[in-house]
Chain A
Protein backbone atom coordinates (compact mmCIF):
# COMPACT_ATOMS: atom_id res chain seq x y z
CA UNK A 1 0.00 0.00 0.00
CA UNK A 2 1.46 3.27 -1.14
CA UNK A 3 1.36 6.71 0.43
CA UNK A 4 0.71 9.86 -1.61
CA UNK A 5 0.63 13.58 -0.95
CA UNK A 6 -1.81 15.19 -3.37
CA UNK A 7 -2.73 18.80 -4.00
CA UNK A 8 -6.14 19.97 -5.21
CA UNK A 9 -7.55 20.23 -7.83
CA UNK A 10 -7.03 16.53 -8.59
CA UNK A 11 -6.25 15.30 -12.09
CA UNK A 12 -7.01 12.05 -13.95
CA UNK A 13 -3.37 11.09 -13.44
CA UNK A 14 -3.65 11.63 -9.65
CA UNK A 15 -6.66 9.31 -9.51
CA UNK A 16 -5.36 6.64 -11.87
CA UNK A 17 -2.34 5.86 -9.71
CA UNK A 18 -4.44 5.31 -6.57
CA UNK A 19 -5.30 1.79 -5.38
CA UNK A 20 -7.72 0.87 -2.62
CA UNK A 21 -5.83 0.76 0.68
CA UNK A 22 -3.44 3.58 -0.26
CA UNK A 23 -2.97 6.37 2.26
CA UNK A 24 -3.46 9.85 0.80
CA UNK A 25 -2.73 13.23 2.38
CA UNK A 26 -4.66 16.05 0.72
CA UNK A 27 -3.49 19.65 0.73
CA UNK A 28 -5.48 22.49 -0.80
CA UNK A 29 -9.19 23.25 -1.03
CA UNK A 30 -12.03 20.82 -0.46
CA UNK A 31 -15.79 21.45 -0.21
CA UNK A 32 -18.22 20.22 2.42
CA UNK A 33 -21.61 18.91 1.40
CA UNK A 34 -24.10 16.43 2.81
CA UNK A 35 -27.76 15.54 2.39
CA UNK A 36 -29.54 18.89 2.05
CA UNK A 37 -26.68 20.57 0.13
CA UNK A 38 -26.63 17.73 -2.41
CA UNK A 39 -30.35 18.16 -2.97
CA UNK A 40 -29.83 21.86 -3.68
CA UNK A 41 -26.83 21.25 -5.96
CA UNK A 42 -28.93 18.81 -7.97
CA UNK A 43 -31.88 21.21 -8.11
CA UNK A 44 -29.52 23.90 -9.43
CA UNK A 45 -28.25 21.55 -12.13
CA UNK A 46 -31.84 20.74 -13.13
CA UNK A 47 -32.54 24.45 -13.56
CA UNK A 48 -29.32 25.02 -15.49
CA UNK A 49 -27.93 27.34 -12.80
CA UNK A 50 -24.24 27.71 -11.99
CA UNK A 51 -22.98 25.74 -8.98
CA UNK A 52 -21.37 27.54 -6.00
CA UNK A 53 -17.99 25.93 -6.76
CA UNK A 54 -16.21 24.41 -9.74
CA UNK A 55 -16.70 20.63 -9.81
CA UNK A 56 -13.72 20.06 -12.14
CA UNK A 57 -11.03 18.27 -10.15
CA UNK A 58 -12.91 18.91 -6.92
CA UNK A 59 -13.24 16.85 -3.75
CA UNK A 60 -16.45 16.87 -1.70
CA UNK A 61 -16.20 16.02 1.99
CA UNK A 62 -19.42 14.56 3.44
CA UNK A 63 -19.39 16.44 6.74
CA UNK A 64 -21.51 18.75 8.83
CA UNK A 65 -19.00 20.26 11.26
CA UNK A 66 -19.81 21.36 14.78
CA UNK A 67 -19.64 25.13 15.41
CA UNK A 68 -16.17 26.70 15.58
CA UNK A 69 -15.30 27.67 19.15
CA UNK A 70 -13.39 30.95 19.60
CA UNK A 71 -9.85 30.77 18.25
CA UNK A 72 -10.42 27.79 15.93
CA UNK A 73 -11.35 27.75 12.23
CA UNK A 74 -13.86 24.93 12.67
CA UNK A 75 -15.29 22.59 15.30
CA UNK A 76 -15.16 18.81 15.09
CA UNK A 77 -15.22 17.67 11.48
CA UNK A 78 -15.33 13.94 10.86
CA UNK A 79 -17.10 12.14 8.00
CA UNK A 80 -20.78 11.28 7.83
CA UNK A 81 -22.15 8.05 6.27
CA UNK A 82 -21.78 8.24 2.50
CA UNK A 83 -24.57 6.04 1.12
CA UNK A 84 -27.09 8.82 1.67
CA UNK A 85 -25.36 10.77 -1.11
CA UNK A 86 -25.26 7.79 -3.51
CA UNK A 87 -28.24 8.98 -5.55
CA UNK A 88 -26.53 12.32 -6.22
CA UNK A 89 -22.89 11.30 -6.70
CA UNK A 90 -22.87 9.77 -10.24
CA UNK A 91 -24.16 12.98 -11.82
CA UNK A 92 -21.54 15.06 -10.00
CA UNK A 93 -18.78 12.66 -11.08
CA UNK A 94 -19.93 12.99 -14.70
CA UNK A 95 -19.41 16.75 -14.35
CA UNK A 96 -15.82 16.47 -13.15
CA UNK A 97 -15.96 15.68 -9.41
CA UNK A 98 -12.77 13.70 -8.76
CA UNK A 99 -13.45 12.37 -5.31
CA UNK A 100 -15.68 12.14 -2.29
CA UNK A 101 -14.72 11.71 1.35
CA UNK A 102 -16.91 9.91 3.87
CA UNK A 103 -17.36 6.62 5.67
CA UNK A 104 -19.22 3.42 4.80
CA UNK A 105 -20.23 1.59 1.65
CA UNK A 106 -21.11 3.04 -1.78
CA UNK A 107 -23.62 1.73 -4.31
CA UNK A 108 -22.65 -0.06 -7.51
CA UNK A 109 -23.88 2.99 -9.47
CA UNK A 110 -21.39 5.23 -7.67
CA UNK A 111 -18.55 2.72 -8.20
CA UNK A 112 -19.41 2.53 -11.92
CA UNK A 113 -19.50 6.33 -12.16
CA UNK A 114 -16.06 6.50 -10.51
CA UNK A 115 -14.65 3.98 -13.01
CA UNK A 116 -16.17 5.82 -16.01
CA UNK A 117 -15.15 9.30 -14.87
CA UNK A 118 -11.85 8.50 -13.14
CA UNK A 119 -12.74 9.35 -9.58
CA UNK A 120 -12.08 7.82 -6.15
CA UNK A 121 -13.86 7.40 -2.82
CA UNK A 122 -11.83 8.18 0.27
CA UNK A 123 -12.50 7.17 3.86
CA UNK A 124 -11.72 9.33 6.88
CA UNK A 125 -11.93 7.92 10.39
CA UNK A 126 -15.50 8.25 11.64
CA UNK A 127 -15.87 9.52 15.17
CA UNK A 128 -12.45 11.19 15.11
CA UNK A 129 -13.83 14.63 14.32
CA UNK A 130 -11.72 16.52 16.85
CA UNK A 131 -8.52 14.94 15.51
CA UNK A 132 -9.43 15.47 11.84
CA UNK A 133 -10.23 19.13 12.48
CA UNK A 134 -6.54 19.77 13.19
CA UNK A 135 -5.77 19.35 9.46
CA UNK A 136 -8.32 22.05 8.55
CA UNK A 137 -6.66 25.45 8.55
CA UNK A 138 -9.54 27.65 7.35
CA UNK A 139 -13.27 27.32 6.71
CA UNK A 140 -15.67 29.64 4.91
CA UNK A 141 -19.37 29.19 4.13
CA UNK A 142 -19.78 29.71 0.36
CA UNK A 143 -23.41 28.60 -0.16
CA UNK A 144 -26.71 27.71 1.53
CA UNK A 145 -25.88 29.41 4.81
CA UNK A 146 -29.47 28.80 6.01
CA UNK A 147 -28.69 25.07 6.19
CA UNK A 148 -26.48 25.67 9.24
CA UNK A 149 -24.21 22.66 9.72
CA UNK A 150 -25.24 21.45 6.25
CA UNK A 151 -24.13 24.64 4.43
CA UNK A 152 -21.40 24.27 1.80
CA UNK A 153 -18.04 25.30 3.23
CA UNK A 154 -14.76 25.80 1.46
CA UNK A 155 -12.09 24.18 3.63
CA UNK A 156 -8.39 24.84 3.38
CA UNK A 157 -6.66 21.62 4.41
CA UNK A 158 -3.07 20.59 4.99
CA UNK A 159 -2.18 16.91 4.81
CA UNK A 160 -5.74 15.82 5.47
CA UNK A 161 -5.35 12.06 6.18
CA UNK A 162 -7.42 9.68 4.03
CA UNK A 163 -7.62 6.06 2.96
CA UNK A 164 -8.61 5.04 -0.56
CA UNK A 165 -11.73 2.88 -0.11
CA UNK A 166 -12.77 2.61 -3.79
CA UNK A 167 -10.32 3.32 -6.62
CA UNK A 168 -11.21 3.94 -10.27
CA UNK A 169 -10.06 0.44 -11.29
CA UNK A 170 -12.80 -1.40 -9.40
CA UNK A 171 -10.71 -2.01 -6.27
CA UNK A 172 -12.40 -1.80 -2.86
CA UNK A 173 -10.93 -1.87 0.63
CA UNK A 174 -14.06 -3.09 2.46
CA UNK A 175 -14.41 -6.86 2.43
CA UNK A 176 -17.61 -8.88 2.66
CA UNK A 177 -18.51 -9.78 6.27
CA UNK A 178 -17.97 -13.44 7.14
CA UNK A 179 -21.65 -14.13 7.71
CA UNK A 180 -21.36 -17.91 7.61
CA UNK A 181 -18.84 -18.03 10.44
CA UNK A 182 -20.89 -15.62 12.55
CA UNK A 183 -24.18 -17.48 12.07
CA UNK A 184 -22.49 -20.81 12.80
CA UNK A 185 -21.47 -19.32 16.17
Chain B
Protein backbone atom coordinates (compact mmCIF):
# COMPACT_ATOMS: atom_id res chain seq x y z
CA UNK B 1 0.00 0.00 0.00
CA UNK B 2 1.42 3.37 -1.04
CA UNK B 3 0.78 6.39 1.18
CA UNK B 4 0.16 9.85 -0.25
CA UNK B 5 0.26 12.70 2.29
CA UNK B 6 -2.93 14.83 2.21
CA UNK B 7 -0.80 17.99 2.13
CA UNK B 8 0.75 16.91 -1.20
CA UNK B 9 -2.74 16.62 -2.67
CA UNK B 10 -3.81 19.99 -1.22
CA UNK B 11 -0.77 21.75 -2.69
CA UNK B 12 -1.03 20.08 -6.11
CA UNK B 13 -4.76 20.79 -6.39
CA UNK B 14 -4.28 24.44 -5.39
CA UNK B 15 -1.56 24.75 -8.02
CA UNK B 16 -3.65 23.18 -10.76
CA UNK B 17 -6.67 25.42 -9.99
CA UNK B 18 -4.50 28.52 -10.36
CA UNK B 19 -2.67 27.25 -13.45
CA UNK B 20 -5.90 26.17 -15.18
CA UNK B 21 -7.28 29.69 -14.80
CA UNK B 22 -4.15 31.40 -16.14
CA UNK B 23 -2.83 29.08 -18.83
CA UNK B 24 -5.04 28.20 -21.76
CA UNK B 25 -4.10 24.69 -22.96
CA UNK B 26 -1.70 24.53 -25.94
CA UNK B 27 -4.23 22.69 -28.15
CA UNK B 28 -6.76 25.50 -27.63
CA UNK B 29 -4.21 28.23 -28.41
CA UNK B 30 -3.02 26.39 -31.51
CA UNK B 31 -6.60 25.95 -32.73
CA UNK B 32 -7.32 29.67 -32.17
CA UNK B 33 -4.37 30.54 -34.42
CA UNK B 34 -5.39 28.08 -37.13
CA UNK B 35 -9.00 29.27 -37.12
CA UNK B 36 -7.97 32.93 -37.07
CA UNK B 37 -6.06 32.33 -40.30
CA UNK B 38 -8.97 30.38 -41.82
CA UNK B 39 -11.63 33.05 -41.13
CA UNK B 40 -12.66 35.61 -43.79
CA UNK B 41 -14.95 37.65 -41.53
CA UNK B 42 -12.94 40.54 -39.99
CA UNK B 43 -15.03 40.39 -36.78
CA UNK B 44 -14.13 36.70 -36.36
CA UNK B 45 -10.45 37.41 -36.96
CA UNK B 46 -10.55 40.29 -34.49
CA UNK B 47 -12.23 38.15 -31.83
CA UNK B 48 -9.47 35.54 -32.13
CA UNK B 49 -6.87 38.31 -31.93
CA UNK B 50 -8.41 39.52 -28.66
CA UNK B 51 -8.62 36.01 -27.23
CA UNK B 52 -4.96 35.33 -28.05
CA UNK B 53 -3.93 38.66 -26.53
CA UNK B 54 -6.05 37.89 -23.47
CA UNK B 55 -4.37 34.49 -23.05
CA UNK B 56 -0.92 36.07 -23.26
CA UNK B 57 -1.87 38.77 -20.77
CA UNK B 58 -3.29 36.23 -18.34
CA UNK B 59 -0.12 34.16 -18.47
CA UNK B 60 2.04 37.26 -17.92
CA UNK B 61 0.04 39.05 -15.21
CA UNK B 62 -1.67 36.20 -13.39
CA UNK B 63 -5.10 37.76 -13.96
CA UNK B 64 -7.49 34.89 -14.65
CA UNK B 65 -8.36 34.29 -18.32
CA UNK B 66 -12.02 34.91 -17.51
CA UNK B 67 -13.70 36.51 -14.50
CA UNK B 68 -15.88 33.39 -14.32
CA UNK B 69 -13.29 31.05 -12.83
CA UNK B 70 -15.99 28.44 -12.79
CA UNK B 71 -17.20 25.81 -10.44
CA UNK B 72 -14.23 23.51 -9.85
CA UNK B 73 -14.99 20.08 -11.32
CA UNK B 74 -12.68 17.14 -10.66
CA UNK B 75 -12.41 13.69 -12.19
CA UNK B 76 -10.36 11.45 -9.94
CA UNK B 77 -8.87 7.99 -10.49
CA UNK B 78 -7.67 6.56 -7.22
CA UNK B 79 -5.47 3.46 -7.33
CA UNK B 80 -6.68 0.59 -5.15
CA UNK B 81 -3.16 0.25 -3.71
CA UNK B 82 -2.82 3.88 -2.66
CA UNK B 83 -4.03 5.53 0.51
CA UNK B 84 -4.26 9.17 1.59
CA UNK B 85 -2.74 10.01 4.94
CA UNK B 86 -4.08 12.86 7.09
CA UNK B 87 -7.64 13.32 5.85
CA UNK B 88 -10.08 11.93 3.30
CA UNK B 89 -9.30 12.33 -0.39
CA UNK B 90 -12.48 14.35 -0.85
CA UNK B 91 -11.49 16.71 1.94
CA UNK B 92 -7.94 17.11 0.59
CA UNK B 93 -9.18 17.98 -2.91
CA UNK B 94 -11.71 20.44 -1.54
CA UNK B 95 -9.13 22.11 0.70
CA UNK B 96 -6.71 22.38 -2.22
CA UNK B 97 -9.41 23.95 -4.37
CA UNK B 98 -10.33 26.50 -1.67
CA UNK B 99 -6.62 27.36 -1.22
CA UNK B 100 -6.08 27.78 -4.96
CA UNK B 101 -9.14 29.98 -5.49
CA UNK B 102 -8.12 32.17 -2.54
CA UNK B 103 -4.41 32.50 -3.27
CA UNK B 104 -4.89 32.86 -7.03
CA UNK B 105 -7.42 35.73 -6.68
CA UNK B 106 -9.93 33.58 -8.53
CA UNK B 107 -13.64 34.37 -8.40
CA UNK B 108 -15.78 32.33 -6.02
CA UNK B 109 -18.89 31.47 -7.99
CA UNK B 110 -20.68 28.94 -5.78
CA UNK B 111 -23.92 29.94 -4.06
CA UNK B 112 -27.02 28.60 -2.32
CA UNK B 113 -29.61 27.77 -4.99
CA UNK B 114 -32.48 29.41 -3.05
CA UNK B 115 -31.00 32.36 -1.13
CA UNK B 116 -28.26 32.86 -3.80
CA UNK B 117 -25.84 33.59 -0.93
CA UNK B 118 -22.25 33.03 -2.03
CA UNK B 119 -20.59 30.16 -0.14
CA UNK B 120 -17.48 32.39 -0.09
CA UNK B 121 -14.89 29.75 -0.95
CA UNK B 122 -16.13 28.34 -4.29
CA UNK B 123 -16.93 25.13 -2.43
CA UNK B 124 -17.83 22.43 -2.37
CA UNK B 125 -15.83 21.14 -5.32
CA UNK B 126 -17.75 18.80 -7.63
CA UNK B 127 -15.79 15.54 -7.60
CA UNK B 128 -16.35 12.38 -9.64
CA UNK B 129 -14.40 9.45 -8.19
CA UNK B 130 -13.30 6.26 -9.84
CA UNK B 131 -11.37 3.38 -8.23
CA UNK B 132 -8.78 1.82 -10.55
CA UNK B 133 -6.05 -0.83 -10.26
CA UNK B 134 -2.56 0.34 -9.24
CA UNK B 135 -1.08 2.74 -6.70
CA UNK B 136 -1.33 6.05 -8.58
CA UNK B 137 -3.67 8.97 -7.99
CA UNK B 138 -4.74 10.86 -11.12
CA UNK B 139 -6.68 14.10 -10.89
CA UNK B 140 -8.21 16.16 -13.72
CA UNK B 141 -9.49 19.65 -12.90
CA UNK B 142 -11.88 21.72 -15.03
CA UNK B 143 -12.82 25.33 -14.34
CA UNK B 144 -16.35 25.21 -15.75
CA UNK B 145 -18.09 28.53 -16.31
CA UNK B 146 -21.82 29.05 -15.76
CA UNK B 147 -22.66 30.65 -19.09
CA UNK B 148 -21.77 27.63 -21.19
CA UNK B 149 -23.06 25.16 -18.58
CA UNK B 150 -26.49 26.86 -18.77
CA UNK B 151 -26.66 26.02 -22.50
CA UNK B 152 -26.17 22.28 -21.83
CA UNK B 153 -28.99 19.71 -21.91
CA UNK B 154 -29.84 16.08 -21.14
CA UNK B 155 -32.50 14.39 -23.26
CA UNK B 156 -33.90 10.87 -22.85
CA UNK B 157 -34.76 9.73 -26.38
CA UNK B 158 -36.68 6.61 -27.33
CA UNK B 159 -34.44 4.15 -29.22
CA UNK B 160 -36.42 4.84 -32.41
CA UNK B 161 -34.93 8.35 -32.55
CA UNK B 162 -31.59 6.82 -33.59
CA UNK B 163 -28.51 8.80 -34.59
CA UNK B 164 -30.68 11.05 -36.78
CA UNK B 165 -32.64 12.22 -33.73
CA UNK B 166 -29.50 12.73 -31.64
CA UNK B 167 -27.76 14.65 -34.40
CA UNK B 168 -30.72 16.99 -34.88
CA UNK B 169 -30.94 17.66 -31.17
CA UNK B 170 -27.23 18.48 -30.88
CA UNK B 171 -27.25 20.88 -33.83
CA UNK B 172 -30.48 22.53 -32.69
CA UNK B 173 -29.06 22.98 -29.20
CA UNK B 174 -25.96 24.77 -30.50
CA UNK B 175 -28.10 26.90 -32.86
CA UNK B 176 -30.42 27.92 -30.04
CA UNK B 177 -27.52 28.72 -27.71
CA UNK B 178 -26.14 31.01 -30.43
CA UNK B 179 -23.82 33.68 -29.04
CA UNK B 180 -24.69 32.97 -25.37
CA UNK B 181 -22.06 30.38 -24.34
CA UNK B 182 -19.03 32.32 -25.70
CA UNK B 183 -18.43 30.58 -29.04
CA UNK B 184 -16.33 29.12 -30.55
CA UNK B 185 -17.41 26.31 -28.27
CA UNK B 186 -16.42 22.71 -27.67
CA UNK B 187 -19.25 20.19 -27.48
CA UNK B 188 -18.99 17.21 -25.15
CA UNK B 189 -21.56 14.52 -25.93
CA UNK B 190 -22.59 11.58 -23.78
CA UNK B 191 -24.53 8.91 -25.63
CA UNK B 192 -26.03 5.94 -23.80
CA UNK B 193 -25.62 5.03 -20.16
CA UNK B 194 -28.53 6.45 -18.18
CA UNK B 195 -29.69 9.90 -17.09
CA UNK B 196 -26.69 10.77 -14.91
CA UNK B 197 -24.01 8.74 -16.70
CA UNK B 198 -24.74 10.45 -20.03
CA UNK B 199 -24.22 13.83 -18.33
CA UNK B 200 -21.00 12.80 -16.61
CA UNK B 201 -19.64 11.29 -19.83
CA UNK B 202 -20.51 14.43 -21.81
CA UNK B 203 -18.31 16.40 -19.40
CA UNK B 204 -15.54 13.82 -19.28
CA UNK B 205 -15.39 13.86 -23.09
CA UNK B 206 -14.31 17.53 -22.87
CA UNK B 207 -11.05 16.51 -21.21
CA UNK B 208 -9.76 15.10 -24.50
CA UNK B 209 -7.39 17.23 -26.58
CA UNK B 210 -8.99 19.03 -29.51
CA UNK B 211 -6.84 17.05 -31.97
CA UNK B 212 -7.50 13.73 -30.27
CA UNK B 213 -9.31 11.27 -32.54
CA UNK B 214 -11.77 8.81 -31.00
CA UNK B 215 -10.33 5.30 -30.79
CA UNK B 216 -13.44 3.91 -32.51
CA UNK B 217 -13.21 5.06 -36.16
CA UNK B 218 -17.02 5.06 -36.53
CA UNK B 219 -17.42 7.43 -33.59
CA UNK B 220 -14.49 9.52 -34.83
CA UNK B 221 -16.39 9.94 -38.10
CA UNK B 222 -19.52 11.10 -36.24
CA UNK B 223 -17.47 13.65 -34.30
CA UNK B 224 -16.03 15.08 -37.51
CA UNK B 225 -19.38 15.12 -39.26
CA UNK B 226 -21.18 16.94 -36.41
CA UNK B 227 -18.31 19.43 -36.11
CA UNK B 228 -18.54 20.24 -39.82
CA UNK B 229 -22.35 20.58 -39.59
CA UNK B 230 -22.19 22.92 -36.56
CA UNK B 231 -19.66 25.07 -38.35
CA UNK B 232 -22.19 25.68 -41.13
CA UNK B 233 -24.41 27.53 -38.63
CA UNK B 234 -22.42 30.74 -39.17
CA UNK B 235 -22.74 31.72 -35.51
CA UNK B 236 -19.00 32.34 -35.42
CA UNK B 237 -16.71 33.65 -32.67
CA UNK B 238 -18.81 35.56 -30.10
CA UNK B 239 -21.82 35.16 -32.40
CA UNK B 240 -20.52 37.72 -34.90
CA UNK B 241 -20.57 35.28 -37.83
CA UNK B 242 -17.86 33.11 -39.35
CA UNK B 243 -16.74 29.58 -40.08
CA UNK B 244 -15.77 28.77 -36.51
CA UNK B 245 -18.74 28.16 -34.23
CA UNK B 246 -17.18 25.03 -32.77
CA UNK B 247 -13.57 23.96 -32.18
CA UNK B 248 -14.25 20.31 -31.49
CA UNK B 249 -16.92 17.67 -30.85
CA UNK B 250 -16.06 14.85 -28.43
CA UNK B 251 -18.33 11.86 -27.92
CA UNK B 252 -18.33 9.29 -25.12
CA UNK B 253 -20.48 6.21 -25.52
CA UNK B 254 -21.82 3.75 -22.91
CA UNK B 255 -24.30 0.85 -23.11
CA UNK B 256 -27.85 1.81 -22.14
CA UNK B 257 -31.20 0.28 -21.21
CA UNK B 258 -33.24 -1.46 -23.94
CA UNK B 259 -35.90 1.23 -23.49
CA UNK B 260 -33.68 4.31 -23.71
CA UNK B 261 -31.33 6.33 -25.83
CA UNK B 262 -29.90 8.93 -23.42
CA UNK B 263 -28.13 11.99 -24.80
CA UNK B 264 -26.25 14.70 -22.93
CA UNK B 265 -24.82 17.79 -24.61
CA UNK B 266 -22.30 19.66 -22.47
CA UNK B 267 -21.35 23.00 -23.97
CA UNK B 268 -17.87 24.34 -23.18
CA UNK B 269 -16.90 27.95 -23.89
CA UNK B 270 -13.74 28.80 -25.86
CA UNK B 271 -11.91 29.28 -22.56
CA UNK B 272 -11.55 25.50 -22.21
CA UNK B 273 -9.60 25.44 -18.98
CA UNK B 274 -8.40 22.14 -17.57
CA UNK B 275 -5.32 20.56 -16.03
CA UNK B 276 -4.28 17.11 -14.94
CA UNK B 277 -1.83 15.76 -12.44
CA UNK B 278 -0.59 12.25 -11.58
CA UNK B 279 0.68 11.53 -8.07
Contact = CB atoms under 8 A, between A and B. Distances in A.
Interface residues of B, number: 54
Given A66-B106, A81-B150, A182-B175, A129 B66 contact: yes
Contacts of B171: 179, 182-183
Interface stretch (B71-79, B199-207, B226-234, B248-256): B226-234
B225 to A, nearest CB: 7
B179 A103 contact: yes
Given A130-B57, A150-B118, A178 B63 contact: no
A13 B275 CA distance: 49
B57 A175 contact: no
A77 interface: yes
A129 B63 contact: yes
Interface of B is mostly: loop
B235 interface: yes
Contacts of B238: 103, 123, 125-126
Nearest to B46: A125
A63 B67 CA distance: 8
A64 B67 CA distance: 7
A66 B66 CA distance: 8
Interface in B76-121: 105-109, 116-118, 120
B105 A148 contact: no
B54 interface: yes
B116 A35 contact: yes
A130 B57 CA distance: 7
Interface string A141-176: 000001111100000000000010000000001110
B172 interface: yes
Contacts of B65: 76, 127, 129-130
Contacts of A163: 240
A78 B57 CA distance: 14
B107 A185 contact: no
B50 A131 contact: yes
B3 interface: no
A177 B63 contact: no
A52 interface: no
Contacts of A80: 68, 146-147
A45 interface: no
A2 to B, nearest CB: 15
Interface string A53-76: 000000000011111110010011
Given A127-B51, A128-B54, A147-B118, A75 B240 contact: no
Contacts of B230: 182
Contacts of B116: 35-36, 39
B51 A125 contact: yes
B178 interface: yes
Contact of A76 (B64, B174, B182): B64
B62 interface: yes
B36 interface: no
A133 interface: yes
B168 interface: yes
Contacts of A181: 232-234
B260 interface: no
A105 B179 contact: yes
The 4 lowest CB-CB distance pairs between A and B, nearest first, are: A104-B180, A126-B182, A66-B107, A130-B63
Given A83-B180, A126-B182, A183-B171, 9 more contacts: A63-B67, A103-B239, A127-B270, A131-B57, A148-B118, A149-B118, A174-B179, A177-B175, A177-B235
25 contacts: A64-B68, A65-B107, A66-B64, A66-B67, A67-B106, A72-B63, A75-B63, A75-B105, A78-B67, A80-B68, A80-B147, A103-B182, A104-B179, A125-B51, A126-B147, A127-B54, A127-B66, A127-B270, A128-B54, A129-B65, A131-B50, A133-B63, A163-B240, A178-B233, A185-B229
